[in-house]
Structure 1
Amino acid sequence: MQVFKEGKWDLSELVKDPESPHFERRLKTIQNDVKNFEKNKKILKPTISEKKFMSMLHTLEDITDEFGRVSGYASLEYSSDTQSDKATSLVSRMRKLGAQLENQTLFFDQWWKKQIDEKNAQRLMKSSGELHEFLRYKRLLAKYSLTEPEERIINTLDVTGHSALVKIYDKITNAFTFEVKIDGKTKRYNREELSVLIRSPKPSTREIAYKALLSEFDKNKGVLGEIYQNIVSNWKDECIQIRGYSSPISVRNIGNDTDDKTVDALLAVCKKNADVFRKFFLLKARILKMKKLRRYDIYAPIQKREEKKYNYDKAVKLVLNTLNDFSPQLGEYANRVFAQKHVDSTIRPGKRSGAFCSTITPKITPYVLVNFKGRTNDVFTLAHELGHAIHSIAASGKSIFIAEAPLPLAETASTFSEMLLFNKILDQVSDEEQQSILTEHLDDMYATVGRQAYFTLFEIAAHEKIGNGAMVQDITSEYMKTLKDQFGNSVDVTPDFGTEWTCIPHFYHSPFYCYSYSFGNLLSLSLYQRYRKEGRSFASTYVDILAAGGSKKPEDLLKEHGIDISTESFWQEGFEYIKNQTARLQKVIN
């Protein structure tokens, strides 16, 4: 019987020796291929033949694939040892070369977006096969693009505009330290250290930590608020008045290749189901032996006598068996990652923290990095990253341009894999462990679905109010209103949380990004509910969805399988899952 052992990944399929003459020859070949590709500038005319156009696209695919292998190797090698001077140097070299190659091939992208007329664009798309969606989406973005000189002006001004404002925000907030006095001892913490105290088992420590965080941001709310006001105004001026988007959030929706109607339905359902999480917070208060949770207690941990430990072999087999029970095909995909030694699981100095799955090219099995410590959470992390891997392998028959699913679908397989594992584990543990696992699971559902949706609802209101001249205090009042709408009477929210919005980097860095978390997680929950209803027959539908990668618009892809994500009824199915888990928790604690 196979025994899975912790170890480092094998990157030799990408690059055998980065210091060899062969490696240098590969780089030279890529550069020569790009130079030859540039010669196509002369033949890029609206009347170009379908055959020649497709030949150019396939050449660009090959260049992207080959450069992806060498640059991907550099990135993975660096993740494996961030302290290595050789790895650091190679990453820098590949980034510089990547920027150079991108500039050299940019002419093709610009021509397709702006210089070819619609009739000839449709003619070429008609014969483009699976690349139709790739070409359609580029044309869609072109609708909101400006002329090349105008784009250059905006890019130049952005250095001292939005990008500069984000840098100033980061520079100010990253310098914050937080003074905390616990048990008579005063100590200064950075934000990362403070986040540990926010999840302390002690209610008093949680309150002190939150107050330290919020008071520091409150002291700086004038300048942080003005930065936000300018970012929002800049977003409106550029995206709506100059580029012609219909609303502030539609900029993000189009970037996600998702319809406004779909996102509206998602957010409406999240708002209507606020009571689902309110019931959970009341249950959590009972578990923590509190009359009612305060906002300081939202992420309070549940005390456990002893956390279950898993050895690596048992953890891997548990995840593989779970996937195999659902679909032997997906089980085989996941096993392939281990069979080809594409997993880096050991903890060692210099290795990057956290976990990720990296798909270098559809033609190569993805690489997975985890830092395995044997906790239950590590087993879920393994399932999550292997979910990403099987998504990539399922779509490996697609072009490198369309193999990757758009952002709202990107977490489908990872979250779904966690759901399968969660329900397998839950049936095998004691009531006490069930209580702990269910509470942590619902904590996560709130953080990734409910909280993120309300962040987005706040942003929609804040952008509108700032457009009408709102001041910093008006934004704070709007945020408090959002918190009260979200928690109702289930949680006590003190006034100091009014300026919490200044603590959320996504509002500054990437407006309206947050709903992607709600979208991805609720989509997986809704699909899981379909699986519970339809049984094993759902597996083939699910595999087909994964296999599409990014070859189809999310709405179109799912509609082919009888799933309409533009309707509130679909998203409601995801909340039925959360309701069921809340009821299950209530049953365990009664």
Structure 2
Amino acid sequence: MTYSLTWDLDSIFDGGVESEALKQRILLLDDQITEYQTLVTDWNPDTDKPEFKQFEIIMTVQEKVSNGLGQTFSFVNAIQSADVSNKEAGSLLAGLYTKHTGFQNAEVLLTKKLTSMPDATWSQLLETPIAKKQGVTFNLEETRHTGKRLLSEEEETIINQLSTDGFNAWSTHYDTIVANITIPFEEDGEVIELSVGQAFNKMMSSADSDTRKRLFDKWEEVWSQQAPLFADTLNHLDGYRLTNNKLHGITDHLQIPLEYNRMQEKTLTAMWDAIAANKQPFVDFLTRKANLFGKEKMEWQDQDAPVILGDFEEKRYTFNEAADFIIENFNNFSPKMADFAKMTFEKSWIEAEDRPGKRPGGYCTGFPESQESRIFMTYGESVNEVSTLAHELGHAYHSHVMWDLPAISQDYAMNVAETASTFAELIVSDATLKQASSTEEKINLLDIKIQNAIAMFMNIHARFIFENNYHEARKHKVLTDTEITDLMLEAQKESYKDSLESYHPHFWASKLHFYIDSVPFYNFPYTFGYLFSLGIYAHAAKQGKSFEDEYVALLRDTASMTTEELALKHLGIDLTKPDFWQAGIDIIIKDVNEFLELTKPYV
């Protein structure tokens, strides 16, 4: 089959940001938000009980607004991702943020009314048909619990309105800076200007050591030149977040990310403690890999470089080959998952073309009104990028199996979101290993698989340490770019056990995740999802295709219970204990040991 490298957005709104259908949908949003605000303002729980018919209408309109905002936000953001110079898209996003503020104001009032209900009235509400839909009771209880710390309606409205040109604006300001950054690189006697996405892909996956080194030096130089701008952005973004927390009586900066991910601090601590106790095998892996490159210690830019030994040539996958490979191997586990992936390729839901002007990174975004997803990435034909493609398809499949649920019960947290994506990635990485035809190829593929663990146990651990220390310091002062850089370097050295020859001090500036306003601590959920998916994968391997329906049931519950409850119900495990985390780490240590054994003759 031949598949398109560019996505189809016209089936969502024909005509891009100039789409008449998009303009009409945004205008309808204004009417729906106004209707929602009026309904919530006029609602009196005492006169609405016991049937709560008015509340049912409120929930119906709430879903329409939520889906409409999701549909338009996703579309405009997709346009801007594919062309960072599109100024009209940026303007539309700013307008949508303003509309979202109006929706948030009504949400605050509704939450306050739910929170102030007497227990007897609340019990009556939970017996209504709309509350008994899958997951809704849990989400309403969650809303009532977190709503107890809200300030007055007037104060919350002011905060929401100020966030448009404060909190949200600093986040989008980061995108504006990055859109104007290019990385100069000399190739074949000619200096070319690479977008940050192109430069990153080339730097981290090139088989040529000199190319990696020259690109990394330029990469660090460019981000360091802009460091004062990024320091301003990060200081104000997180300063706003910390102030907002303080106003709501929250002094622990981890409270909100833990609540958002519906997990206990005991679970997070158990996970990081298990990882910290098992660093040495991964240090040994990095050192061995450096030795294979003719170096004593690993350098930052070499971590994701391919290990190519003997006359082995790294396998390349065209986009079409990658699609067929993913579909085939998804089918070995789940025909439903394979059918979904096939449809995604056939309907051109993926933006994969390698061209200038695209933002870096990759993501999957949902269109709730169309009940479709779109995947964004810059595809480069390496085995790594086949895994990335599978990863994003995992996200899309997760949304796909939940579209029929109430919108409020589709709002799964980031940690479990990363479970489905990493699970899909594991299917593909194991499939490539099974097809290895030589020792050299197996070494190459083991390296690629272990790279993921290095990212989760070392790189992301460094991000968590940095962000934790940065937030603590930011409570007391505005930090200079030099101070932030020092915190980043210290975190990397701690996480990597001081095992690298060189580090990436300005990683804090180059990483988008630190500047996302919607989700604080955009790091530990990745590691959680990685290890959690290992547990699911091991369970699935024992049951084969019979686990398909159980897997779908688990995914459908991800927004309807706490993380600990989800694990206990579907896997029978206690996430607050070290055993589960150690079992997952042991799986990867086994791969590391095999890599070390196979590479002995080459050092």
TM over 0.5: yes
The answer to whether the Cα contact below 8 Å between 2:364 and 2:376 also exists between their aligned partners in 1 is yes
Partner of 1:366, secondary structure, is strand
* Alignment-mate amino acid for residue 316 of structure 1: A
Q: How does 1:199-214 map to 2 (within 5 A)?
A: none
CA distance 1:186–1:579, shift in 2 (3 Å): same
CA distance in 1, matches of 2:93, 2:225: 39
The alpha carbon displacement at 1:566 in A equals 2.7
Write out per-residue CA displacement over residues 130-173 of structure 1, whole angstroms, 9 at most, x where no aligned residue: 32233233333323332233335545766887678778888889
* Alignment-mate amino acid for residue 247 of structure 1: D
Q: Aligned match of 1:460 in 446, 468, 471?
A: 468
The answer to whether the Cα contact below 8 Å between 2:203 and 2:212 also exists between their aligned partners in 1 is yes
The alpha carbon displacement at 1:398 in A equals 0.8
Q: How does 1:19-34 map to 2 (within 5 A)?
A: none
The answer to whether the Cα contact below 8 Å between 1:182 and 1:205 also exists between their aligned partners in 2 is no
2:126 is matched with 125
CA distance 1:108–1:7, shift in 2 (3 Å): same
1:332 is matched with 339
The alpha carbon displacement at 1:404 in A equals 3.9
The answer to whether the Cα contact below 8 Å between 1:271 and 1:454 also exists between their aligned partners in 2 is no
The answer to whether the Cα contact below 8 Å between 1:449 and 1:517 also exists between their aligned partners in 2 is no
* Alignment-mate amino acid for residue 564 of structure 1: D
2:557 is matched with 548
* Alignment-mate amino acid for residue 255 of structure 1: Y
2:146 is matched with 141
* Alignment-mate amino acid for residue 583 of structure 2: E
More divergent stretch after superposition (311-320 vs 569-578): 311-320
Query: Does 1:393 find its partner at 2:400?
Result: yes
The alpha carbon displacement at 1:343 in A equals 3.0
Query: Does 1:289 find its partner at 2:297?
Result: no
1:414 is matched with 421
1:263 is matched with 268
2:59 is matched with 57
CA distance in 1, matches of 2:355, 2:188: 33
2:111 is matched with 113
CA distance in 1, matches of 2:5, 2:233: 46
CA distance in 1, matches of 2:162, 2:19: 43
The answer to whether the Cα contact below 8 Å between 1:362 and 1:398 also exists between their aligned partners in 2 is no
Q: How does 1:368-407 map to 2 (within 5 A)?
A: 368=375, 374-407=381-414
Q: TM-score, normalised by structure 2?
A: 0.78
CA distance in 2, matches of 1:4, 1:313: 6
1:576 is matched with 586
The alpha carbon displacement at 1:420 in A equals 0.7
Query: Does 1:515 find its partner at 2:516?
Result: no
The alpha carbon displacement at 1:417 in A equals 0.9
CA distance 1:211–1:66, shift in 2 (3 Å): closer
Segments of 5+ residues of structure 1 without an aligned counterpart are none
* Alignment-mate amino acid for residue 331 of structure 1: A
Query: Does 1:442 find its partner at 2:440?
Result: no
Partner of 2:367, secondary structure, is coil
* Alignment-mate amino acid for residue 334 of structure 2: S
2:250 is matched with 245
The alpha carbon displacement at 1:274 in A equals 1.7
Query: Does 1:273 find its partner at 2:278?
Result: yes
Write out per-residue CA displacement over residues 23-61 of structure 1, whole angstroms, 9 at most, x where no aligned residue: 887777666555554542464113123233123212332
* Alignment-mate amino acid for residue 272 of structure 2: L
CA distance in 2, matches of 1:92, 1:261: 40
CA distance in 2, matches of 1:62, 1:92: 24
CA distance in 2, matches of 1:427, 1:97: 50
The answer to whether the Cα contact below 8 Å between 2:467 and 2:521 also exists between their aligned partners in 1 is yes
Query: Does 1:585 find its partner at 2:584?
Result: no
More divergent stretch after superposition (501-510 vs 259-268): 501-510
Q: TM-score, normalised by structure 1?
A: 0.80
* Alignment-mate amino acid for residue 544 of structure 1: A
Partner of 1:57, secondary structure, is helix
CA distance 1:558–1:342, shift in 2 (3 Å): farther
* Alignment-mate amino acid for residue 387 of structure 1: G
Partner of 1:317, secondary structure, is helix
Q: Aligned match of 2:574 in 557, 564, 575?
A: 564
Write out per-residue CA displacement over residues 370-394 of structure 1, whole angstroms, 9 at most, x where no aligned residue: 6656543443233222212221222
The alpha carbon displacement at 1:450 in A equals 2.4
The answer to whether the Cα contact below 8 Å between 2:71 and 2:368 also exists between their aligned partners in 1 is yes
Partner of 1:292, secondary structure, is coil
Aligned length: 580
CA distance 1:41–1:57, shift in 2 (3 Å): closer
More divergent stretch after superposition (140-149 vs 176-185): 176-185
* Alignment-mate amino acid for residue 125 of structure 1: L
Partner of 1:289, secondary structure, is coil
The answer to whether the Cα contact below 8 Å between 1:7 and 1:343 also exists between their aligned partners in 2 is no
The alpha carbon displacement at 1:408 in A equals 1.0
* Alignment-mate amino acid for residue 464 of structure 2: T
Partner of 1:290, secondary structure, is coil
CA distance 1:523–1:107, shift in 2 (3 Å): same
CA distance 1:369–1:219, shift in 2 (3 Å): closer
CA distance 1:457–1:29, shift in 2 (3 Å): closer
* Alignment-mate amino acid for residue 140 of structure 2: L
CA distance in 2, matches of 1:477, 1:14: 45
CA distance 1:570–1:474, shift in 2 (3 Å): same
Q: How does 1:91-106 map to 2 (within 5 A)?
A: 95=93, 98=96, 102=100, 105-106=103-104
Partner of 2:521, secondary structure, is coil
The answer to whether the Cα contact below 8 Å between 1:8 and 1:344 also exists between their aligned partners in 2 is yes
Write out per-residue CA displacement over residues 298-331 of structure 1, whole angstroms, 9 at most, x where no aligned residue: 3444347533234555433321221121122323
CA distance 1:144–1:275, shift in 2 (3 Å): farther
The alpha carbon displacement at 1:256 in A equals 2.6
* Alignment-mate amino acid for residue 262 of structure 1: T
2:349 is matched with 343
CA distance in 2, matches of 1:405, 1:223: 33
* Alignment-mate amino acid for residue 269 of structure 1: A
Partner of 2:45, secondary structure, is coil
CA distance in 2, matches of 1:416, 1:237: 37
Q: Aligned match of 1:316 in 305, 314, 323?
A: 323
CA distance in 2, matches of 1:229, 1:33: 36
1:46 is matched with 45
CA distance in 2, matches of 1:150, 1:531: 49
Partner of 1:258, secondary structure, is coil
The alpha carbon displacement at 1:451 in A equals 1.4
CA distance in 1, matches of 2:76, 2:225: 43
CA distance in 1, matches of 2:467, 2:354: 41
* Alignment-mate amino acid for residue 339 of structure 2: E
CA distance 1:479–1:550, shift in 2 (3 Å): same
* Alignment-mate amino acid for residue 559 of structure 1: L
CA distance in 2, matches of 1:15, 1:156: 28
Q: Aligned match of 1:428 in 405, 420, 435?
A: 435
CA distance in 2, matches of 1:314, 1:187: 29
Return the index of the structure with the highest Cα Rg. Answer: 1
